[in-house]
Amino acid sequence: MPDSPSISELAERRLSRRTAMAGGLATATAAFFGAAGPAATASAGTAENVSRGAGRRLLGFPAIAPSVADEVVLPPGYRYQVLFPWGHPIVPSGPAFAEDAGNSAAEQALQAGDHHDGMWFFPLKGRRSGLLCVNHEATTEQLLHTDGLATWSPEKTAKSMAAHGVSVIEVEQDRKGRWRLVESRFARRVTMTTPTEITGPAAGHPLMRTGADPGGVGVLGTLNNCASGPTPWDTYLTCEETINKYFYFGEQPPRAGSVEERYGIGSESPYPWYGTEERFDMRVEPNEYNRFGWVVELDPFDPTSTPKKRTALGRMEHENAVVVRGRRGEAVVYMGDDTQFDYFYKFVGAEPISKALRRGRSPLDEGTLYVARFEEDGSGRWLPLVHGEPGLTEANGFADQAEVLIRTRLAADAVGATPMDRPEWCTVQPRTGAVFFTCTNNTARTESVNAANPRLENRFGHIMKIDEGRNPSAETFDWDVFLLAGDQASGATVPPDQAFGSPDGLWFDADGRLWIQTDGAQPKIDGAEQNNQMLAADTRRGDIRRFLVGPPRCEITGITSTPDRRSLFVNIQHPGDSGTPEDPRAGSSWPDHSTTGRPRSATIVVTREDGGVVGG
């Protein structure tokens, strides 16, 4: 087994590249090349840390210390409010949350789902209010039911399915700065029983047809809704991620090299839905799983609208979807596939957004899906996943374009894309158009590294940067490793006092602050443990600071703000992550800290006590 490259070897690789990418984190650059200077003091934001040509300081808060407290910790002068926890009704008049998890499936379908993840705030004109779309990625079954997984029943399946999906709620801010839910004609829940339309090249394909839907154009629900993204035409994209764990293949696992194996389908399922819902039993309905793993579009302003699965964007474990306008005004969508050794993608629409909408077409139903190849010299190519291209013919197992999209991972394998260390959230830098995305970690990388994934047993992950020369429609790009997460022993390129691991959520606000959220292994600082956290980075000045730390074992995820950036919405997912029916507060009792209740995923709102811009 080869040793992981040393920092000096990685530095030599970077120095030898033909293109030096501007705008990276100055702190990371200094640490990466072993230079003295700002790395040790970047969190202070002093004049010595200002990189040449940088503009005004974006970070106006002191970095906070690591924490293992069962609480959300913020800098001085900041406060948070729990707005929308699991079980909270989507309108004030809805069914109240039962602390013993005694709510029925019907009640759960009118309440916040579990495992809050990606979300977006859509402002309403003329008021300090808006619609908040919130994803509910998964459930903790031991906490969702009064007796956990014991004595599984159709009612438990129904409640679990109702706790997945999306919430659309209307929220408003009062004169004291507090947020609240209001009665709203827009409020709705999208769950695993919501009729959903299949659109694009895979609609109607034989691989999408089932006994319940012989036409292959409609499916019930959306599943494992991870992160998200807004569109320029004011709709919401929710992304289906880890679908494999909901389907039961049979007592024997799929054969090696099969499509099912490549998509992670196994002989065990942590969700026993298949025992009461045959569509999740692949022995009965082998095509149902093809109908999940897509990007789903939802119109938050029309509660009667049907969600649509946009198959032109490919089928994978979608993390989030970032939409920008291309050179011709077309939709360009960046997406990561959150699995070890999987890929980073983009979709380029076939026509301008305005033209498609004017003619009653979706900007996301026609276009070209590409997958990224990262070369060792810092250049890169977008490889088209188009039927008939080399490796994507009928002789290679792809009968048509629909099969290329239904089996996107195999298509990306065939064209020679670069396997990455769990590519997750992505975001686009304001003004420069550079694309940043997280590679959360990959401890399974034990045999070989490459320039884009430079560490063996990558426990702490890294962040990538792509520069397309301000042309989102380009088929080539330059790239760099923006930073390596972790501690000094792992070769991290962040200040030791701001060490973090497993970057997951990633978002640039309109001012250019890069918000980084974590989910997974965190490095110790001075021998002390730390919970998952959220940091902010000023990429021009080389300044990175810890802003928020969550309760034990939670994931910090989901981020959006009001247009004035004075209210920041963040999700705290599965606090404790170890509760049992016997001891539901094992690991955490946040946010209620009740002696009779249980931990709850929740949306919080962060504000400054002086009413200023969050992070500024």
DSSP 185-213: SS-EEE-TTSEEEEESTTTT-GGG--SS-
Q: What is the pLDDT of residues 48-62, one digit of tens each?
A: 232 333 568 999 999
Q: What was the pLDDT predicted at 55?
A: 64
Strand ranges of the sheet holding 330-337, from the earlier edge strand across to the other edge? 318-325, 330-337, 344-352, 367-374, 379-384, 476-484, 462-467, 435-439, 423-428
| Residue 335 near residue 329, CB atoms below 8 Å | no
Q: What was the pLDDT predicted at 267?
A: 79
Average pLDDT on 379-396 reads 98
Q: What was the pLDDT predicted at 30?
A: 42
CA angle 258, 228, 613 (to 5 degrees): 150
- Rounded to whole angstroms, the Cα distance separating 4 from 612 reads 45
pLDDT band at 225; cut points 50, 70, 90: very high
| Residue 295 near residue 313, CB atoms below 8 Å | yes
Beta-carbon contacts of residue 226 (< 8 Å; ≥ 6 apart): 117, 118, 135, 137, 239, 240, 241, 242, 317, 318, 319, 320, 338
pLDDT band at 90; cut points 50, 70, 90: very high
Listed residue (257, 247, 367, 391) closest to 314, CA to CA: 367
Q: What is the pLDDT of residues 275-331, one digit of tens each?
A: 999 999 999 999 999 999 999 999 999 999 999 999 999 999 999 999 999 999 999
Whether the pLDDT of residue 8 is over 80: the answer is no
- Rounded to whole angstroms, the Cα distance separating 511 from 504 reads 21
Whether the pLDDT of residue 523 is over 80: the answer is yes
Q: What is the pLDDT of residues 588-602, one digit of tens each?
A: 999 999 888 899 999
| Residue 170 near residue 131, CB atoms below 8 Å | yes
Q: What was the pLDDT predicted at 147?
A: 92
Q: What was the pLDDT predicted at 35?
A: 29
Across 340-349, 562-571, 580-589, least confident range: 580-589
Query: Would you say the C-alpha torsion 113, 576, 82, 75 has a positive or negative sign?
Result: negative
Average pLDDT on 349-365 reads 98
Where are the alpha helices (H) located in 103-203, listed in sequence order? 105-108, 141-144, 154-162
How would you write 4-30 as a 3-class SS string?
Answer: CCCHHHHHHHHHCCCCCCCCCCHHHHH
58-to-27, 61, 531, 542 alpha-carbon distances in Å:
15, 9, 25, 11
Q: What is the pLDDT of residues 250-264, one digit of tens each?
A: 999 999 999 999 999
Average pLDDT on 446-462 reads 97
Average pLDDT on 334-356 reads 98
Whether the pLDDT of residue 480 is over 60: the answer is yes
Across 45-54, 88-97, 220-229, 253-262, least confident range: 45-54
Whether the pLDDT of residue 6 is over 80: the answer is no
- Rounded to whole angstroms, the Cα distance separating 210 from 215 reads 8
Average pLDDT on 458-467 reads 98
pLDDT band at 37; cut points 50, 70, 90: very low
User: Which of 195-229 are b and which e, b meaning 16 or more Cβ less than 10 Å from the residue's Cβ?
Assistant: ebbbbbbbbebebbbbeebeebbbbbbbbbbbbbb
Q: What was the pLDDT predicted at 581?
A: 60
- Give percent above pLDDT 90 in the chain: 87
Strand, coil or helix: 53? coil
Whether the pLDDT of residue 214 is over 60: the answer is yes
DSSP 571: E
- Give percent above pLDDT 70 in the chain: 90
Highest mean pLDDT among 6-10, 26-30, 612-616: 612-616
Listed residue (273, 269, 225, 233) closest to 251, CA to CA: 269
Q: What was the pLDDT predicted at 268?
A: 80
Amino acid identity for residue 537 in this structure: A
Q: What was the pLDDT predicted at 28?
A: 43
Listed residue (67, 45, 65) closest to 57, CA to CA: 45
Instruction: Give me the phi and psi of 233, to 5 degrees please.
Output: -105, 25
Q: What was the pLDDT predicted at 531?
A: 98
Rg (CA), the chain: 23
- Rounded to whole angstroms, the Cα distance separating 91 from 16 reads 58
Beta-carbon contacts of residue 375 (< 8 Å; ≥ 6 apart): 381, 451
Whether the pLDDT of residue 22 is over 50: the answer is no
Q: What is the pLDDT of residues 524-559, one digit of tens each?
A: 999 999 999 999 999 999 999 999 999 999 999 999
Q: What is the pLDDT of residues 97-114, one digit of tens each?
A: 999 999 999 999 999 999
Q: What was the pLDDT predicted at 326?
A: 98
Amino acid identity for residue 276 in this structure: T
Amino acid identity for residue 75 in this structure: P
Q: What was the pLDDT predicted at 585?
A: 72
Across 16-20, 122-126, 219-223, 491-495, least confident range: 16-20
pLDDT band at 125; cut points 50, 70, 90: confident
| Residue 451 near residue 439, CB atoms below 8 Å | no
Structure tokens at 106: 């019907």
**Bond prior to 62 in cis (omega within 30° of 0):** no
